[in-house]
């Protein structure tokens, strides 16, 4: 269930009046006296919240504000803390934090005695499992009451760091480590008056049973298997470079999805993946003690060819999300790629500011510069060129392309077209003429789905052909064809690179935020995520619908937080993030993996993004700033590439080059 943090209430059966229509008589409980929730501790120590809600039944709804920051024990194990209270029954739900002692042994599950020393991906996997256990219990109706008032983040098929469930060091008397789970609860009302009895049912008959059965009483053995699987996936991804590979697809993987609107694996009729014998590789998985065999794709240019509807794009889509770890039953558990892989496509009408697209486009009419290209309405070719350069700027070592979504004139030009339009009259240098430069001079590989041209055959390291979802290594045949029919094509030569490194782009904060986002007498603006497709930045909507490696709404919320941090930080904050980015030695992935910082196309713009990302991670994805209009617990980690993609698509973005500055 998706949840929009802000934007209208979820009204009950009585319209704006909920169950309204009843006449409520004035009672002594409605006097304008402050009700301190701590006074309702008579009887059982676990009945304080129940007593409080009984006492405010039928009282003016604003009385619930007294719950802010109040904490109640619902049982021996479970405690509820109210972080923020909704203004009326029709507003977005109140924010609560549910906590309980850690339900598993740290040494067994996290392989550490303290949280500070555990492997990040194991901690993230454990938090992910707890969220899934809670969410599944809520969805299955574990509790005897289901009000529809409880909302938590819905996890995807991917295992990401999230702010919904966090393991923290807590009270030693309660075991030392606690689970904190953040949720939104719509406190019910009769019109504008409190429905205390309904609130009791939500907390004691719905929320408490789910916490007791699905969190406190979770299946520790299933948790161990989940964490071990994720740790093995992270290990496998880390082994790719040493093995000379950029991607790996395990035998038996189920790549097709259930439907166009479901990311679950296809059941009946799915064809398990089998590697061509010539590309088979075997890796040891140290945490489970098993081995995995499958297709290892080497560094270089990998072509995926084949007829329509035979599985080319399905394979590429599985590789796109191979940057993430998956749940054990996903079908793509051991489908993994270089963690810096970026999907490239054309994106007509996007804005571009200060990007050097000259390796692909030069000599435009009217002497328009392409070394620091600016447009508010990019064409297919200029947008794809910018997407490539922006990915390189942030450190991508693997580009993923599908010709179906690429600009044809940026991908290739055949001999007949060159006869009609001579090279000196064509400002576009196609990707086919640059792919070898990227491989040989910068270590940047490409995996490309093709079906309409063989111009890439002479440059390919491996050519796969998909036939009925089965992969065949046709590299030798492709080389023979290119030798026979493309004799005019010269073999790739190592040459001086046309790609300038390091890049010189710098973020201009004052120019970006000066006029359109003027403060109008306020210290902040409103920044929030909207689904998985866009971010609301003041009056502007940043379109992320074609940034295809965003897989959860929470990632958009994380990106929105980063943009809010930049806006609210002003010049001092921007300098702080820039310095933090420059000082980083390791770069982290959303799943908890890390690698040494080595960005060949370094720029200050990239360092700023990295610093912002690191600051958000340091805050456990909850860097609250005045402009961030997001509830707690609804954020998932995003990569620097997707954060940079959002900032690059902000239409008021202004950048400088070193020469300009």
Q: Dump pLDDT digits (tens) for 3-44.
A: 333 333 333 333 333 333 333 333 333 334 445 665 555 557
What pLDDT shows up at residue 423? Answer: 80
Q: Is residue 5 classed as helix, strand or coil in its secondary structure?
A: coil
Is residue 441 domain-shared with residue 348, that is, in the same domain?
yes
Domain boundary, last residue among 173, 188, 218: 218
* 3-state SS, one letter per residue, for 348-394: CCCCEEEECCCCCECCCHHHCCCCCEEECCCCHHHHHHHHHHHHHHC
Q: What is the pLDDT of residue 516?
A: 57
Residue 433 reports pLDDT greater than 80: yes
Residue 310 confidence (pLDDT) above 80: yes
Q: Tell me what pLDDT residue 421 has.
A: 86
Residue 153 lies in a domain: yes
Between residues 231 and 500, which one has the greater pLDDT?
231
| Mean pLDDT, residues 299-306 | 98
**So what's the pLDDT on residue 340?**
97
Residue 304 lies in a domain: no
How far apart CA 552 and CA 280 sit, in angstroms, is 32
Judge whether 635 and 561 are in contact, CB under 8 Å: yes
Please give the pLDDT value at position 633: 96
Q: What is the pLDDT of residue 41?
A: 56
Instruction: Check pLDDT > 90 for residue 640.
Output: yes
- Burial of 441 (C-beta count, 10 Å sphere; 0-12/13-18/19+): middle
Poorest-confidence range of 210-214, 497-501, 583-587?
A: 497-501
- Please write the tens of the pLDDT for every residue from 328-346: 999 999 999 999 999 999 9
Full residue range of the structural domain in which residue 510 is found: 505-657
What's the total number of domains in the chain? Answer: 3
Q: How far is CA 413 from CA 183, 301, 408, 425, 452, in A?
A: 54, 18, 8, 13, 12
Position 300 in a domain: no
**Final residue belonging to a domain, choices 418, 451, 485:** 485
Same domain membership, residue 460 and residue 544: no
pLDDT confidence of residue 35? 56
Write out the H or E segment, with its range, that includes residue 341.
strand 341-344
More confident residue, 500 or 411: 411
Q: Is residue 500 very low, low, confident or very high in pLDDT (cuts 50, 70, 90)?
A: confident
The average pLDDT across 538-558 equals 96
Same domain for 529 and 457: no
Does the residue 228 lie in any domain? Answer: no
Per-residue pLDDT, averaged over 115-139, amounts to 95
Residue 601: pLDDT above 50?
yes
Residue-level pLDDT at 175: 57
**Residue 608 in contact with residue 638, Cβ under 8 Å?**
no
Do residue 526 and residue 419 come from a single domain?
no
Same domain, 571 and 472: no
The residue among 301 and 591 whose pLDDT is bigger is 301
Q: What is the pTM of this model?
A: 0.90
Residue 414: inside a domain: yes
In the structure encoding, which two tokens stand for residue 585, read together? 């030695």
Query: What distance in Å separates the CA atoms of residue 128 and residue 112, rounded to the nearest whole number?
Result: 18
Last residue of a domain, one of 218, 234, 252: 218
Residues 414 and 535 in one domain: no
Do 461 and 552 belong to one domain? no
pLDDT category of residue 141 using cuts at 50, 70 and 90: confident
Kindly state the average pLDDT of the residues 283-288.
98
Same structural domain for residues 77 and 201?
yes
* One domain for residues 197 and 151: yes
What are the strands, taking DSSP E only, across 523-565?
Answer: 527-530, 534-537, 540-543
pLDDT for 32 equals: 40
Got the DSSP string for 456-494?
A: TGGG-SEEEEEETTEEEE-HHHHHHHHHHH-TTSPPP--
pLDDT at position 170 is: 79
Give the pLDDT confidence of 59-99 residue by residue, as tens digits: 999 999 999 999 999 999 999 999 999 999 999 999 999 99
What mean pLDDT do residues 465-480 have? 97
DSSP H or E stretch at residue 53? helix 48-55
Residue pLDDT, tens place only, 437-454? 999 999 999 999 999 889
Assigned domain for 255 exists? no
Percent of the chain surpassing pLDDT 90: 75
User: What per-residue confidence (pLDDT) applies to 489?
Assistant: 53
pLDDT digits (tens, 9 = 90+) for 345-396: 999 999 999 999 999 999 888 778 899 999 999 999 999 999 999 999 999 9
Q: Three-class SS of residue 601?
A: coil
Mean per-residue pLDDT over the chain, rounded: 89
- Average pLDDT of span 167-189: 87
Average pLDDT over residues 619-628: 92
60, 206: one domain: yes
Do 51 and 176 lie in one domain? The reply is yes
Q: Is there a domain that residue 11 lies in?
A: no
Residue 148 lies in a domain: yes
Indicate if 520 and 421 belong to the same structural domain.
no
């Amino acid at each position: 269930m998706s949840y929009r943090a802000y934007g209208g209430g979820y009204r009950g059966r009585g319209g704006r009046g909920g169950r309204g229509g009843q006449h409520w008589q004035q009672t002594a409980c409605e006097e304008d006296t402050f009700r301190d929730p701590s006074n309702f501790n008579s009887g059982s120590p676990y009945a304080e919240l129940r007593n409080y809600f009984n006492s405010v039944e039928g009282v003016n709804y604003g009385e619930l504000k007294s719950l802010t920051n109040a904490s109640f024990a619902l049982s021996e194990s479970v405690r509820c803390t109210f972080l923020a209270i909704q203004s009326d029954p029709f507003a977005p739900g109140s924010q609560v934090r549910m906590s309980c002692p850690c339900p598993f042994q740290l040494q067994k599950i996290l392989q550490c005695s303290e949280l500070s020393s555990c492997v990040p991906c194991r901690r993230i996997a454990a938090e992910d499992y707890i969220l899934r256990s809670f969410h599944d219990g809520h969805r299955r109706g574990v509790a005897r009451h289901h009000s529809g008032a409880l909302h938590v983040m819905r996890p995807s098929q991917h295992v990401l760091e999230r702010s919904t469930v966090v393991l923290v060091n807590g009270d030693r008397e309660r075991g030392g480590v606690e689970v904190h789970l953040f949720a939104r609860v719509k406190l019910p009302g009769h019109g504008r008056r409190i429905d205390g009895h309904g609130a009791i049912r939500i907390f004691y008959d719905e929320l408490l049973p789910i916490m007791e059965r699905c969190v406190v009483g979770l299946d520790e053995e299933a948790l161990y298997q989940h964490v071990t699987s994720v740790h093995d996936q992270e290990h496998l991804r880390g082994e790719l470079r040493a093995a000379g590979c950029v991607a790996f697809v395990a035998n038996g993987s189920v790549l097709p999805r259930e439907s166009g609107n479901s990311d679950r694996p296809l059941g009946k009729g799915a064809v398990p993946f089998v590697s061509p014998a010539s590309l088979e590789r075997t890796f040891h998985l140290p945490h489970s003690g098993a081995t995995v065999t499958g297709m290892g794709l080497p560094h270089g240019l990998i072509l995926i060819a084949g007829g329509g509807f035979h599985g080319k794009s399905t394979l590429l889509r599985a590789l796109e999300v191979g940057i993430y770890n998956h749940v054990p039953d996903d079908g793509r558990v051991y489908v993994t790629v270089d963690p810096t892989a970026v999907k490239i496509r054309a994106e007509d009408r996007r804005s571009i500011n200060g990007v050097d697209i000259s390796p692909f486009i030069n000599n435009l009419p009217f002497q328009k510069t392409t070394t620091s290209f600016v447009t508010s309405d990019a064409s297919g070719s200029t947008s794809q060129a910018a997407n490539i350069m922006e990915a390189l700027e942030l450190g991508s070592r693997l580009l993923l392309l599908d010709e179906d979504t690429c600009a044809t004139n940026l991908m290739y030009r055949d001999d007949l077209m060159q006869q009609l339009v001579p090279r000196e009259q064509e400002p576009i240098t196609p990707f086919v003429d640059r792919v070898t430069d990227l491989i040989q001079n910068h270590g940047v590989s490409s995996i490309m789905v093709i079906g309409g041209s063989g111009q890439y055959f002479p440059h390919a390291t491996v050519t796969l052909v998909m036939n009925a979802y089965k992969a065949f290594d046709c590299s030798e045949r492709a080389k023979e064809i290119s030798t026979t029919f493309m004799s005019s094509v010269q073999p790739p030569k190592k040459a001086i690179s046309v790609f300038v490194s390091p890049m010189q782009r710098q973020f201009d904060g004052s120019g970006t935020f000066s006029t359109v986002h003027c403060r109008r007498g306020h210290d902040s603006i409103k920044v929030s995520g909207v689904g998985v497709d866009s971010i609301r930045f003041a009056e502007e909507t940043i379109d992320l619908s074609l940034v295809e490696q965003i897989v959860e709404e929470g990632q958009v919320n994380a990106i929105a937080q980063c943009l809010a941090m930049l806006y609210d930080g002003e010049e001092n904050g921007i300098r702080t993030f820039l310095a933090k980015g420059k000082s980083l030695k390791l770069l982290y992935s959303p799943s908890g993996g890390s690698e040494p910082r080595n960005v060949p196309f370094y720029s200050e713009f990239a360092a700023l993004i990295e610093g912002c990302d690191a600051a958000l991670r340091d805050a456990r994805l909850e860097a609250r700033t005045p402009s961030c209009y997001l509830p707690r617990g609804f954020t998932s980690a995003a990569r620097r590439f997707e954060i940079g993609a959002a900032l690059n698509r902000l239409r008021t973005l202004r950048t400088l080059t070193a020469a300009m500055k």
